[in-house]
Structure 1
Amino acid sequence: MARKLDAERIEQARHQSQRTDRREQEKQHIRETIERNRKGERKVTVIMPERKEYAYQEAAKVRVAAYCRVSTAEEAQAGSFEMQVQHFTSEIESNPMYEMVKIYTDEGISGTSVDKRKGFLEMIEDAKAGKIDLILTKSISRFGRNIVDILTTLRELSDLPSPVAVNFESEGINTSDGKNRLIISILSALAELESQQKSIAIKEGIRYRMQEGLYKFTVRNTIGYYRDYTGRVKIEPAEAEIVHYIYDSFVEGASVQEIADALTKQGIRSPKGMERWNSSTIRSILKNEKYCGDVLYQKTYTKDYLTHKSVKNRDVLPQYHWENDHPAIIKREQWDKVQILLATKQGRGHRQIGEIKKKFTVARVKTGVLRGYFLLDANWTKDEREQFIKIIESVNDLENE
């Protein structure tokens, strides 16, 4: 018997030889094919498309829209917003190939979600309706800061029967060029990351100002207060009367619903300008520490920087309670009394006073040693007892007539 073969080495060599032969054969075939083509042995006819993929690439007049956005309505960004609008208006109107559709805008709206961007949504609807060929915008971050929203929108625009291209000026990218898709994806992700980092930095800055008592709380829907041109909190005398009326009425025994109904009947508008008041608004005013001059920061917080949805701070983040932060409308003694009324059984009695009147009944003893006396329920609240006394007095008045 001959010496045993090195099977592993032999098979590896055979496999390598076959692979090498096949590669060389393929190369030789390609060289020969190209050579025959050059000699004219084979002929190819190139059929050019009759129309371009994007309408704006072949139209005599391109219907152009622009999208402008800034994330806040502050004066610092007002100039940037106006410059965007003027820039694209001039660019479109000065180009003889362009036909102005509209400048779509969102001022003071975050780019992390499309839900609240009315201008953006209107533009996309017009694009789907076939009114736009090309959209101009300053940058990917102006178009949006949510990678999912950006890529989804661009895909929707490119999949339309007449695809709509988007030109990002700062990046020098046009979506009509398929080679830019990867770059757009990367830049969109960076825009979202930048937004996240900004959100973190802004939150840290706000919390620092809260901790140091430098944060300026909003008074937009806080009836009775306004900020002057220096940013200081001031009392609005006319609205302060409403606040006093609410607190005084509650201390005197009126329920929150009764106070709401009374204000509605008197024609006083709510903090949001509504004709009708509701009990929750009254309760919110009664519980608001700002009316005694204090402020409690971080009652709520934003859980997700993309949705911007606020949730109640239930022992998740620290809160900062500053006393005597601004002028008080309600004296602290009265405010403290109201909080006790709201928290105790007597406070709950206040809220139910409307129902008490409907179900309240009086029984009088007709026989025995207690004849003529009235039955008294030990569980009645102070309001119920006072109401009971009024009923007794009315009965006595009738008997004396």
Structure 2
Amino acid sequence: MAKKLDAERIEQARHQEQKRSDRREEQKREIQDTIAKNRSGQRKGRVIMPEKKEYAYQEARKVRVAAYCRVSTAEEAQVGSFEMQVQHFQSVIDNNPNYELVKIYTDEGISGTSVGKRKGFQEMIEDACAGKIDLILTKSISRFGRNIVDILTTLRTLSDLNPPVAVNFESEGINTSDGKNKLVISILSALAELESQQKSIAIKEGIRYRMQEGLYKYSVKNTIGYYRDYSGRVKIEPAEAEIVRYIFDSFTEGASPREIAESLTEQGIRSPKGMEYWRQATIKNILKNEKYCGDVRYQKTYSKDYLTHKTAKNNNILPQWYWENDHPAIIKREQWNKAQELLDAGNWRKSSKPLEAMKKKFTVAKVKSGVLRGYFLLDMMWSKEERDQFIQIINSINELDDGQEERNE
């Protein structure tokens, strides 16, 4: 037979459990009695509600309304979309007697992945922070932006204003004055950014395919000597082509890029960007440009980030495609090849003018007072060799001065 139970201990434990059960029942009765007293009015109490966060447009008699419209490209198909956005919000605001139009802020042909280049958007937020706007209307979250960090940061900035400024996203039917929409806005913002990333990948793949087939239309906007006609074909600009030929002829005959730059500046010929002076770096870039012999090299640079769109030189990062005889040449291939040989050899550096000849165009000045006292002002047009030569002369003068001081002592 099994060992006998400790009856006394077991009964005490059961008694304690009964006591706990009795206490629970007693607590229930107390709660029920308290609620009954509250409802019968025997106990008096009131609710103290927190102050409701009123948005400016909810309390103003005349709501100052702004609208924001944006399309990411300036293509013809999106021009219509852009104009429709503007006209739509103009009509919405005009037809609402409680609305007072502040301004319709616009960014046409600018990506929504970054706030940096969206001047219209920046102006709108500045005006909102200055207290000029009560409510902002926009078509959708993707029109407002495609960067989740920018979207949420901007909405938080507007919400923290006193009084806060609300944003109404028409397509989603969301108004930021309703705190319940915060999670939905976060999710939709993330989706807008993801959509932008997917579009960026698809566009890049399409561009690279056209590069691979030699069909990509590269820009010649800043390429002196060329332009695109109405059909998109690359054509030679005769007047500018003379400048290009002058540069190549001068260089292959022994002139240095600096000398060519000085000559063009003295002749009053403007640079590709319309500047009154030429830099030797500009001359070297022209001499290196394969387009002048009729070829084209695709993907010299690439975009590192789809959000910032910052570009970097393609140094063995991505494949490049080189197509010969892509368009009319300004320079014969033999001359272009000779220019590349001279650039690679660096022989042109030997023709730099000595320092004495430069004094005619610039007088070296020494700063006599202020923070830069004792420093020398140098000509920005000087080459590295000229600067080094000047420093050697200054060092020689300093050594002579030090020797003279030692003899005097």
Q: TM-score range by the shorter chain?
A: 0.7 to 0.9
**Against the structure 1 CA distance between its residues 31 and 171, is the aligned structure 2 distance closer, same or farther, given a 3 Å change threshold?**
farther
Deviation at 1:265, TM superposition (A): 2.0
Instruction: Answer yes or no: is the 8 Å Cα contact 1:134–1:166 preserved in 2.
Output: yes
Provide the C-alpha distance between the structure 1 equivalents of 2:40 and 2:250, rounded to a whole number of angstroms.
Answer: 104
**Against the structure 1 CA distance between its residues 234 and 155, is the aligned structure 2 distance closer, same or farther, given a 3 Å change threshold?**
same
Instruction: Answer yes or no: is the 8 Å Cα contact 1:104–1:119 preserved in 2.
Output: yes
Instruction: Answer yes or no: is the 8 Å Cα contact 1:51–1:58 preserved in 2.
Output: no
Equivalence for 1:96:
97
Provide the C-alpha distance between the structure 2 equivalents of 1:90 and 1:220, rounded to a whole number of angstroms.
Answer: 39
Q: Which has the higher mean CA deviation after the structures are superposed, 264-273 or 95-104?
A: 264-273
SS of corresponding position for 2:183: helix
SS of corresponding position for 1:296: strand
Provide the C-alpha distance between the structure 2 equivalents of 1:197 and 1:4, rounded to a whole number of angstroms.
Answer: 75
Name the TM-score, length of structure 2 as normaliser.
0.79
Provide the C-alpha distance between the structure 2 equivalents of 1:39 and 1:329, rounded to a whole number of angstroms.
Answer: 100
Instruction: Answer yes or no: is the 8 Å Cα contact 2:139–2:169 preserved in 1.
Output: yes
Which aligned pairs between 1:348-387 and structure 2 lie closer than 5 A?
348-350=349-351, 353-355=352-354
Structure 2 letter corresponding to 1:63 = R
Provide the C-alpha distance between the structure 2 equivalents of 1:338 and 1:184, rounded to a whole number of angstroms.
Answer: 58
**Against the structure 1 CA distance between its residues 151 and 52, is the aligned structure 2 distance closer, same or farther, given a 3 Å change threshold?**
closer
Gap regions ≥5 residues in structure 1: 360-401
Instruction: Answer yes or no: is the 8 Å Cα contact 2:254–2:348 preserved in 1.
Output: no
**1:129 and 2:130 aligned:** yes
Equivalence for 2:392:
none
Equivalence for 1:199:
200
SS of corresponding position for 1:214: coil
For residues 42-96 of structure 1, the C-alpha deviation after alignment (integer angstroms, 9 at most, x for no partner) is: 4455667887510100110000001111111121211111111111111112211
Provide the C-alpha distance between the structure 1 equivalents of 2:245 and 2:252, rounded to a whole number of angstroms.
Answer: 11
Provide the C-alpha distance between the structure 1 equivalents of 2:201 and 2:327, rounded to a whole number of angstroms.
Answer: 29
- Root-mean-square deviation over aligned CA pairs: 2.8
Instruction: Answer yes or no: is the 8 Å Cα contact 2:72–2:109 preserved in 1.
Output: yes
**Against the structure 1 CA distance between its residues 26 and 111, is the aligned structure 2 distance closer, same or farther, given a 3 Å change threshold?**
farther
Equivalence for 2:166:
165
Structure 1 letter corresponding to 2:353 = G
Instruction: Answer yes or no: is the 8 Å Cα contact 1:342–1:348 preserved in 2.
Output: no
For residues 359-384 of structure 1, the C-alpha deviation after alignment (integer angstroms, 9 at most, x for no partner) is: 9xxxxxxxxxxxxxxxxxxxxxxxxx
**Against the structure 1 CA distance between its residues 54 and 20, is the aligned structure 2 distance closer, same or farther, given a 3 Å change threshold?**
farther
Provide the C-alpha distance between the structure 2 equivalents of 1:181 and 1:212, rounded to a whole number of angstroms.
Answer: 47
Structure 1 letter corresponding to 2:168 = N
SS of corresponding position for 2:64: strand
Equivalence for 1:299:
300
For residues 158-198 of structure 1, the C-alpha deviation after alignment (integer angstroms, 9 at most, x for no partner) is: 00121000000111000000000000000000011111111
Equivalence for 1:83:
84
Which aligned pairs between 1:1-400 and structure 2 lie closer than 5 A?
3=5, 32-45=33-46, 53-350=54-351, 353-355=352-354
**Against the structure 1 CA distance between its residues 318 and 18, is the aligned structure 2 distance closer, same or farther, given a 3 Å change threshold?**
farther
Gap regions ≥5 residues in structure 2: 359-409
**Against the structure 1 CA distance between its residues 346 and 131, is the aligned structure 2 distance closer, same or farther, given a 3 Å change threshold?**
same
Provide the C-alpha distance between the structure 2 equivalents of 1:224 and 1:110, rounded to a whole number of angstroms.
Answer: 31
For residues 287-341 of structure 1, the C-alpha deviation after alignment (integer angstroms, 9 at most, x for no partner) is: 0000100000011100111110000111111000000001111111111010011
**Against the structure 1 CA distance between its residues 251 and 84, is the aligned structure 2 distance closer, same or farther, given a 3 Å change threshold?**
same
SS of corresponding position for 2:353: helix
Provide the C-alpha distance between the structure 2 equivalents of 1:3 and 1:80, rounded to a whole number of angstroms.
Answer: 88
Deviation at 1:39, TM superposition (A): 2.5
**Against the structure 1 CA distance between its residues 183 and 30, is the aligned structure 2 distance closer, same or farther, given a 3 Å change threshold?**
farther
**Against the structure 1 CA distance between its residues 30 and 139, is the aligned structure 2 distance closer, same or farther, given a 3 Å change threshold?**
farther
Structure 2 letter corresponding to 1:354 = K
SS of corresponding position for 1:354: coil
Provide the C-alpha distance between the structure 1 equivalents of 2:81 and 2:21, rounded to a whole number of angstroms.
Answer: 63
**Against the structure 1 CA distance between its residues 29 and 341, is the aligned structure 2 distance closer, same or farther, given a 3 Å change threshold?**
farther
**Against the structure 1 CA distance between its residues 25 and 315, is the aligned structure 2 distance closer, same or farther, given a 3 Å change threshold?**
farther
Name the TM-score, length of structure 1 as normaliser.
0.81
Equivalence for 2:387:
none
Structure 2 letter corresponding to 1:208 = Y
Provide the C-alpha distance between the structure 2 equivalents of 1:291 and 1:25, rounded to a whole number of angstroms.
Answer: 98
**Against the structure 1 CA distance between its residues 273 and 358, is the aligned structure 2 distance closer, same or farther, given a 3 Å change threshold?**
closer
Amino-acid identity (%): 75
Structure 1 letter corresponding to 2:293 = C
Deviation at 1:141, TM superposition (A): 0.7
Deviation at 1:97, TM superposition (A): 0.4
Instruction: Answer yes or no: is the 8 Å Cα contact 1:137–1:143 preserved in 2.
Output: yes
Instruction: Answer yes or no: is the 8 Å Cα contact 1:63–1:100 preserved in 2.
Output: yes
**Against the structure 1 CA distance between its residues 94 and 25, is the aligned structure 2 distance closer, same or farther, given a 3 Å change threshold?**
farther
Provide the C-alpha distance between the structure 2 equivalents of 1:71 and 1:27, rounded to a whole number of angstroms.
Answer: 64
**Against the structure 1 CA distance between its residues 50 and 311, is the aligned structure 2 distance closer, same or farther, given a 3 Å change threshold?**
closer
Instruction: Answer yes or no: is the 8 Å Cα contact 1:224–1:240 preserved in 2.
Output: yes
Provide the C-alpha distance between the structure 1 equivalents of 2:27 and 2:224, rounded to a whole number of angstroms.
Answer: 84
Instruction: Answer yes or no: is the 8 Å Cα contact 2:255–2:348 preserved in 1.
Output: no
Provide the C-alpha distance between the structure 1 equivalents of 2:261 and 2:166, rounded to a whole number of angstroms.
Answer: 54
